[in-house]
Amino acid sequence: MTRMSEGLSGGPADLADVPPETRSSTGPLHASVNDPALTSMTLLNEIAGRFPDAVSFAAGRPYEGFYDVADLGRYMSAFENHLTDELGLSPEATRRTFFQYGRTKGFIHHLIARHLRNDEGLDVEPESVVVTTGVQEATVLVLRALRTDTRDVVFAAYPSYVGFLGATRLVDMPVRAVREGPDGIDVADLEEKIRRARAEGLRPRAVYVVPDFANPSGASMPLADRRALLDLAAREDVLLLEDNPYSMFHSGGERLPTLKSLDAERRVVYFGSFAKTAFAGARVGYVVADQSVVGGSLFADELAKLKSMLTLNTSTVAQAVIGGYLLENGCSVERASAREAEVYRGNLRAVLTGLEEWFGAGGPMSGAGVSWNAPKGGMFAVVTLPFRADDAMLEYSASHFGVLWTPLHHFYAGNGGFRQIRLSYSVLTHRQIALGIERLAALIADRT
Amino acid sequence: MTRMSEGLSGGPADLADVPPETRSSTGPLHASVNDPALTSMTLLNEIAGRFPDAVSFAAGRPYEGFYDVADLGRYMSAFENHLTDELGLSPEATRRTFFQYGRTKGFIHHLIARHLRNDEGLDVEPESVVVTTGVQEATVLVLRALRTDTRDVVFAAYPSYVGFLGATRLVDMPVRAVREGPDGIDVADLEEKIRRARAEGLRPRAVYVVPDFANPSGASMPLADRRALLDLAAREDVLLLEDNPYSMFHSGGERLPTLKSLDAERRVVYFGSFAKTAFAGARVGYVVADQSVVGGSLFADELAKLKSMLTLNTSTVAQAVIGGYLLENGCSVERASAREAEVYRGNLRAVLTGLEEWFGAGGPMSGAGVSWNAPKGGMFAVVTLPFRADDAMLEYSASHFGVLWTPLHHFYAGNGGFRQIRLSYSVLTHRQIALGIERLAALIADRT
């Protein structure tokens, strides 16, 4: 539900008023429309919709307190000036950039490369960047490219981001689940799973990881694990798909390098998002794909071919807005999103403090058997409960105690996480967080 | 080449400076990256790029003389006012509409429904509209939904729009070619092809058609053929995929009804575009999918599920701009694009007049064996030459005579059209058109 169902209302149409005999049937549809991840998201949204007054730890959307519609026009003007003044485009070429079909790989690739140098210490060739309609499109492009026949398979730590799982469904790419520990993906388990897949005649292609502040777990990989993962990828000749939407929301202390910046062999395909930093509605993300392809071309150029059959190019106005956002902030997203990062840091502290006060040593419910992790950043934390926390329990929690959260089993494709819940704190006030944890404590007291 | 390679420059990166041993290979990629349609577009763009001073009948992009960057901010403001004043949204809800993840089916569906009523006499339920990242995404969504296993197959008249063919490649959907006559798809041939496919154990799902001013042929289907096509679709239980990007550029005389407005059984899935009317860079299109699905849901809602795994939602700023464009013009695209329509009408007259003057009865080359069609609107016409008009001939035409055009065989997946060329006249002046046809005549004189 992280990226779902905000904005204008509108559920399924009521078909009751249309005589069924005048409405043709489509016939059977691709299995992905019945994907369990989708069905569960619909269910969660439906429950959330029925309890609008509950404190919601379920809504994963970014903080919206600093949004101002007036920024959008200013960003576009900043980008227009950049085209004319910095790049020297003629008025005709500038107009064409805004209005016509554009370069398939996008036209803010050079600004994205500057941002990666400024904020991640990462040097990428602008030509290896493909600007996409959000990371979601980028994920579909990469998976579409890698799924050549029934032998291809990818790996992901479970619990896993539902958007990634959805993308695999669209291209019929099987996902092999890898264990996740408190420090992210279990590299030894990954190695075993890759070998097992090979023994079955499958062709392991890639491993999906969110090394910093994963969704849903909030886990971050230690440096040694990052290096071990890169070594394993080299030994097994698989790509690493590094998704990095949350790194700007770090603790403020020392940061770990991205996999991509440790990637001497260019084995990492890097996904970057502006959804949580600039704004989600723009639908602007990107992928850095600097691998070579048999025949000598650049992976980014092959992905662009697929994009030319999928969306042609990322919306020019959306790119211009994000381009202006980058330019206004010296191509530092860290600078641009400093206020949001401060909100998330404060909210994370409030969540951890609240949990400690209720369930920690000396707290009123210290013996209840509740534990939780302590993410170093991001937008999510995970709480382990002493009872089954499934959709029925969520419904009970909402109706009897006025608090919403996300059952973790939805991120396991139904195969785990039945006693865990995700707490998302991005859009809450400290007061709402305290109230929500108090209500959670009441639920737990009721069930134990 | 219709929707390609405008805007900022940037070819494939030069890999020569990166030691090959430090750049991992991706391994094999999905066959669609080697699709002949893509390869041919790359080739055509490359030829066009080498002859910038040639008169180009190859560029299929919309006329750009009326574009003004200042319009974009005004459109956004108009849409913002619509949200607050007409729909009564709070300032918070308005901001959220612009900035957050949005409704998967989009938020300008009601304005699109008004446009369809105003300009096409078409009544659609707003809930059956899915706003997409251009028609290209809509096509992929529909084909993805319909491709359930290896038996599913679709039909299209050849020559066919390369964007449609590209979308079929992405989802591994086979396309059966149907004959096209001067009046568009040959319904009798379609019937035979459908029956033959069924006899082979395949499952015919849908037929792709552009009834008005098709790309590349410019052909329009007569009313009787439209009715016959609907009857056939009902008998054979297949969907009709009606793509309608050009209907606003009609002759100014009587217009024919869309398939969708004749569609009593809701057998037509209707694709609408703003690329040629508002502007292409926005990447805003839509699909009207009012069929029912087994289980009783609406096809549009099933497509939205797939979209939630592909792009989540269409860019909010792009939707807001197109929403404002519609609002400023009373939700009449015909009114909004009247100036462009006049340009295209005038250019089409100039093309047909030029061809007649050179190759018609009494013209200097009346005996050269050149013929052409007379489209009633749109952006394209087709000329039949007395010799092979392939890529080598295009190269020769560009280098020796300074005129570019598109070999029609690219729209036949290489199986036809070798003596035909597409003339696109959307971005030319009357003077350029006259000069281009003079140069074409010189080429023809040289080769005959």
Please report the DSSP string for B63-130 in residue order: P-TT--THHHHHHHHHHHHIIIIIS---HHHHHHHHHS---TT-S-HHHHHHHHHHHH-----GGGEE
Let me know whether A308 and A400 are in one domain.
no
CB contact under 8 A, A100 and B281: yes
Let me know whether B285 and B384 are in one domain.
no
Q: What tokens does A326 get?
A: 């980058």
Let me know whether A88 and A169 are in one domain.
yes
A428-432, B2-6, B241-245 — which is least confidently predicted?
B2-6
Cβ neighbour number for residue B234 with a 10 Å cutoff: 15
In a domain, A10, yes or no: no
CB contact under 8 A, A310 and B9: no
Let me know whether B230 and B284 are in one domain.
yes
B6: closest chain A residue by CA? A102
Q: How far is B81 from chain A (nearest CA, A)?
A: 12
Q: What's the pLDDT band for B9 if we cut at 50, 70, 90?
A: very low
Q: A103: which chain B residues are within 8 Å (Cβ-Cβ)?
A: 5-10
Q: Which of B14, B17, B30, B35 to mutate to test the interface with A (most CBs of A within 10 A)?
A: B30
Mapping DSSP onto H, E and C, the string for chain A reads: CCCCCCCCCCCCCCHHHCCHHHCCECCCCCHHHHCHHHHHHHHHHHHHHHCCCCEECCCCCCCCCCCCCHHHHHHHHHHHHHHHHHCCCCHHHHHHHHHCCCCCCCCCHHHHHHHHHHHHCCCCCHHHEEEECHHHHHHHHHHHHHCCCCCEEEEEEECCCHHHHHHHHHCCCCEEEEEEECCEECHHHHHHHHHHHHHCCCEEEEEEECCCCCCCCCCCCCHHHHHHHHHHHHHHCCEEEEECCCCCCCCCCCCCCCCHHHCCCCCEEEEEECCCCCCHHHCCEEEECCCECCCCCEHHHHHHHHHHHHCCCCCHHHHHHHHHHHHHCCCCHHHHCHHHHHHHHHHHHHHHHHHHHHHCCCCCCCCCCCEECCCCCCCEEEEECCCCCCHHHHHHHHHHHCEECEEHHHHHCCCCCCCEEEEECCCCCHHHHHHHHHHHHHHHHHHC
* In the predicted structure, residue B1 carries a pLDDT above the cut 50: no
Let me know whether A369 and A392 are in one domain.
yes
Q: Could you give the dihedral angle defined by the CA atoms of residues B36, B41, B43 and B49, in that order, rounded to the nearest 10 degrees?
A: -170
In a domain, B196, yes or no: yes
Q: Which helix (H) or strand (E) holds B49?
A: helix B36-50
CB contact under 8 A, B302 and A33: yes
**Using CA atoms, how far apart are residues B208 and B216, in angstroms rounded to an integer?**
14
Segment B90-112 mean pLDDT = 96
DSSP E strands: which ranges in B289-342? none
Let me know whether A141 and A274 are in one domain.
yes
Q: How far is B283 from chain A (nearest CA, A)?
A: 5
**Using CA atoms, how far apart are residues B308 and A186, in angstroms rounded to an integer?**
29
Let me know whether B94 and B197 are in one domain.
yes
Could you give the number of structural domains in chain B? 2
Q: Which of B133, B291, B379 to mutate to test the interface with A (most CBs of A within 10 A)?
A: B133
The domain spanning residue B160 has which CATH number?
Answer: 3.40.640.10
Q: Which of B368, B373, B343 is nearest to B358 (CA)?
A: B368
Let me know whether B350 and B330 are in one domain.
no
Cβ neighbour number for residue B112 with a 10 Å cutoff: 26
Q: How far is A370 from chain B (nearest CA, A)?
A: 33
3-state secondary structure of B164: helix
Q: Which of B151, B283, B325, B340 to mutate to test the interface with A (most CBs of A within 10 A)?
A: B283
The CA angle B415-B418-B422, to the nearest 5 degrees, is 110
pLDDT digits (tens, 9 = 90+) for B18-75: 555 567 889 999 999 988 777 777 788 889 889 999 999 998 899 999 999 999 999 9
A133: closest chain B residue by CA? B311
Q: A29: which chain B residues are within 8 Å (Cβ-Cβ)?
A: 145-146, 148, 293, 302
Last residue of a domain, one of A300, A335, A370: A335
- A132 phi and psi, to 5 degrees? -125, 165
Q: Which of A4, A111, A128 is nearest to A336 (CA)?
A: A111
B22: closest chain A residue by CA? A265
pLDDT of residue A294: 84
A73: closest chain B residue by CA? B73
In a domain, A9, yes or no: no
Strands B403-404 and B285-288, by their bridges, are: unpaired
**Using CA atoms, how far apart are residues B362 and B8, in angstroms rounded to an integer?**
46
| Long-range contacts, B388-393 (Cβ 8 Å, 24+) | B388/B418, B388/B419, B389/B418, B389/B419, B389/B420, B389/B421, B390/B418, B391/B40, B391/B43, B391/B44, B391/B47, B393/B447
A19: closest chain B residue by CA? B265
Segment B73-101 mean pLDDT = 97
Q: Which residue has the tokens 């597409």?
A: B422
In a domain, B9, yes or no: no
Residue A303 domain boundaries? 72-335
In a domain, A7, yes or no: no
Q: What tokens does A406 get?
A: 């996300």
CB contact under 8 A, B105 and A5: no
Q: Which of A35, A92, A99 to mutate to test the interface with B (most CBs of B within 10 A)?
A: A99
Segment B287-297 mean pLDDT = 93
Let me know whether A326 and A355 are in one domain.
no
pLDDT digits (tens, 9 = 90+) for B191-200: 999 999 999 9
Q: B266: which chain A residues are within 8 Å (Cβ-Cβ)?
A: 22-24
Segment B88-99 mean pLDDT = 97
Q: How far is A78 from chain B (nearest CA, A)?
A: 12
In a domain, A1, yes or no: no
pLDDT digits (tens, 9 = 90+) for B187-225: 999 999 999 999 999 999 999 999 999 999 999 999 999
Say if CB A258 and CB A247 are below 8 A apart. Answer: yes
Let me know whether B38 and B119 are in one domain.
no
Q: How far is B98 from chain A (nearest CA, A)?
A: 6
Nearest to B312 among A76, A134, A291 (CB): A134
Distance separating the N- and C-terminal Cα atoms of chain A: 28
B145: left (phi over 0), alpha (psi -120 to 50) or beta: alpha
pLDDT of residue A415: 82
The domain spanning residue B439 has which CATH number?
Answer: 3.90.1150.10
CB contact under 8 A, A12 and B99: no
Q: How far is A203 from chain B (nearest CA, A)?
A: 10
Q: How far is B247 from chain A (nearest CA, A)?
A: 20
Cβ neighbour number for residue A256 with a 10 Å cutoff: 18
B278: closest chain A residue by CA? A99
Let me know whether A211 and A117 are in one domain.
yes
Last residue of a domain, one of A316, A335, A354: A335
A264: closest chain B residue by CA? B22
CB contact under 8 A, B102 and A8: yes
CB contact under 8 A, B318 and A315: yes
CB contact under 8 A, B67 and A99: yes
Q: How far is A278 from chain B (nearest CA, A)?
A: 9
CB contact under 8 A, A4 and B267: no
Q: Which of B25, B127, B290 to mutate to test the interface with A (most CBs of A within 10 A)?
A: B25
**Using CA atoms, how far apart are residues A200 and A152, in angstroms rounded to an integer?**
11
Q: B293: which chain A residues are within 8 Å (Cβ-Cβ)?
A: 25-26, 29
Nearest to A145 among B7, B30, B99 (CB): B30
CB contact under 8 A, A292 and B23: yes
Nearest to B4 among A10, A275, A308 (CB): A308
List, for chain A, all residue ranges whose pLDDT scores fall below the cut of 50. 1-16
Say if CB B205 and CB A27 are below 8 A apart. Answer: yes
Q: A5: which chain B residues are within 8 Å (Cβ-Cβ)?
A: 101, 103-104
pLDDT digits (tens, 9 = 90+) for B411-447: 997 688 999 999 999 999 999 999 999 999 999 999 9
Let me know whether B243 and B215 are in one domain.
yes
Q: Which residue has the tokens 């005996």?
A: B367
pLDDT of residue B7: 34
pLDDT of residue A14: 41
Q: How far is B359 from chain A (nearest CA, A)?
A: 34
CB contact under 8 A, A67 and B27: no
Q: How far is A134 from chain B (nearest CA, A)?
A: 6
In a domain, B23, yes or no: yes
pLDDT of residue A20: 52
Segment B382-394 mean pLDDT = 97
β-strand partners of A269 = A241
Nearest to A23 among B4, B203, B266 (CB): B266
Give residue B111's identity as a one-letter amino acid code.
L
Q: How far is A65 from chain B (nearest CA, A)?
A: 9
In a domain, B10, yes or no: no
Say if CB A118 and CB A334 are below 8 A apart. Answer: yes
Q: A62: which chain B residues are within 8 Å (Cβ-Cβ)?
A: 100
Nearest to B321 among A13, A167, A317 (CB): A317
Nearest to B12 among A137, A265, A298 (CB): A298
Q: Which of A351, A354, A385 is nearest to A370 (CA)?
A: A385
A285: closest chain B residue by CA? B311
Last residue of a domain, one of A315, A335, A355: A335
Size of interface A-B (CB pairs under 8 A): 385
pLDDT of residue B15: 42
pLDDT of residue B115: 98
- The average confidence (pLDDT) of chain B is 93
